[in-house]
């Protein structure tokens, strides 16, 4: 049986309130007014409010998932986060303009995967894996909420993509399992939720946006746009990460996670653009604005995360809230 994920320490009144509800159902009086929608407190609180939909939490009853007090706390936090995203990115219905920049690999790329491929150390690689573990250990679970919200070819094609993400019928090939194997090979704890305490708000926001879009049927267009970004940008980034791990002399089980994505997601990119987004917009053209928003919001949050990580590394510090302990000798 999979162990329940540990609860983190609070980061302010909102996360304290959510933790209180999760533990005993008490509904504390707390307001979102004045809180930073992208800050540590709200993003942790929102992450914790979503988590009962996915996995067990230590000391939290399973039926807390639909506790009215938890939902009452979650809704205003979602609204604040959503408003911040809408303010941050252009609002139009040009899906092609939102997608096209993702289809071109920049000549002078300077993202996190570029850094790791060029001269990353094991210390930086391990930090990267900790950041990514918040999503990758439940890879494609948030996007699964989109399946019942689609029809026809869009639904069929999305399920085809998800089938690969979930191992194509083989439990040992589920992508979340492959990432756990990668973490084990890198000397990290692959237990679900183990590193939530270390994840900064910029990391949590990249995961929270998937839950936000997936759990609101009204945002199904944004959820489709989000998933398209993940599939389109995955192959080149995965290729760089595989090269980075090979340069570091990583075990085959570490490299496998990324080589799997290079092969699978190159096909998924075409399916998502043509068969999922194309069919969805043909059926519901009014969703174009939401699809474009989902694409741009996802890119914007990813860029914020990369900027934080690279800035910390440039300054010689940790990109996590507290540094990882050194790995134990083999």
The string of pLDDT tens digits covering residues 239-265 is 999 999 999 999 999 999 999 888 666
Residue in the block written with tokens 């399916």: 271
Q: What is the C-alpha separation between 51 and 64, in angstroms, rounded?
A: 10
Residue 7 has pLDDT above 60, yes or no: yes
φ/ψ (deg, to 5) at 5: -75, 140
Q: What is the C-alpha separation between 217 and 219, in angstroms, rounded?
A: 5
Predicted local distance difference test score (pLDDT) of residue 330: 47
Average the pLDDT over 313-319 and give the result: 97
Residue in the block written with tokens 């990391």: 203
3-class SS at 16?
A: helix
Predicted local distance difference test score (pLDDT) of residue 28: 78
Mean pLDDT of the chain: 94
Tokens read off for 318: 């940790």
The string of pLDDT tens digits covering residues 15-60 is 999 999 999 988 778 999 999 999 999 999 999 999 999 999 999 9
Q: What is the C-alpha separation between 275 and 272, in angstroms, rounded?
A: 6
Tokens read off for 202: 């910029």
Predicted local distance difference test score (pLDDT) of residue 74: 97
Predicted local distance difference test score (pLDDT) of residue 1: 53
In the chain, % of residues over pLDDT 90: 87
Residue in the block written with tokens 């979102």: 32
Residue 182 and residue 305 in contact, taking contact as beta carbons nearer than 8 Å: no
The string of pLDDT tens digits covering residues 155-191 is 999 999 999 999 989 999 999 999 999 999 999 999 9
Going along the chain from its start, the domains and CATH numbers come out as 13-88 (no CATH), 95-314 (1.20.910.10)
Mark out the alpha helices in 196-219 (DSSP H runs): 201-215
- Closest CA relative to residue 47, chosen from 205, 200, 192, 220: 205
Predicted local distance difference test score (pLDDT) of residue 29: 84
The string of pLDDT tens digits covering residues 91-122 is 999 999 999 999 887 667 789 999 999 999 99
The string of pLDDT tens digits covering residues 127-149 is 999 999 999 999 999 999 999 99
């Amino acid at each position: 049986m999979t162990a329940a994920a540990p609860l983190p320490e609070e980061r302010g009144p909102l996360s304290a309130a959510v933790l209180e509800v999760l533990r005993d159902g008490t509904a504390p009086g707390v307001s979102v007014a004045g809180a930073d929608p992208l800050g540590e407190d709200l993003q942790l609180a929102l992450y914790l409010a979503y988590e009962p939909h996915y996995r067990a939490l230590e000391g939290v009853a399973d039926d807390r998932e639909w506790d009215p007090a938890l939902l009452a706390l979650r809704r205003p936090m979602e609204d604040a986060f959503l408003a911040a995203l809408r303010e941050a990115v252009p609002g139009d219905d040009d899906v092609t303009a939102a997608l096209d920049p993702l289809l071109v690999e920049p000549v002078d790329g300077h993202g996190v995967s570029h850094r790791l491929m060029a001269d990353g150390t094991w210390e930086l690689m391990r930090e990267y894996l900790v950041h990514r573990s918040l999503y990758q250990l439940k890879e494609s679970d948030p996007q699964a909420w989109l399946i019942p919200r689609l029809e026809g070819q869009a639904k069929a094609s999305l399920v085809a993509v998800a089938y690969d993400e979930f191992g194509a019928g083989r439990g040992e090939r589920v992508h979340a399992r492959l990432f756990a194997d990668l973490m084990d090979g890198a000397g990290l704890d692959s237990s679900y939720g183990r590193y939530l305490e270390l994840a900064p708000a910029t990391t949590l926001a990249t995961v929270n946006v998937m839950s936000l879009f997936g759990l609101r049927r009204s945002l199904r267009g944004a959820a489709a746009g989000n998933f398209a970004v993940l599939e389109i940008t995955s192959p080149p980034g995965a290729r760089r990460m595989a090269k980075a791990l090979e340069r570091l002399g990583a075990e085959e089980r570490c490299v496998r996670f990324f080589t799997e994505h290079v092969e699978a997601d190159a096909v998924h990119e075409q399916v998502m653009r043509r068969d999922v987004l194309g069919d969805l917009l043909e059926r519901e053209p009014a969703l174009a604005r939401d699809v474009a928003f989902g694409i741009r919001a996802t890119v914007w949050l990813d860029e914020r995360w990369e900027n934080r990580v690279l800035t910390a590394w440039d300054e010689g510090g940790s990109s996590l809230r507290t540094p990882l302990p050194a790995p134990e000798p083999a």
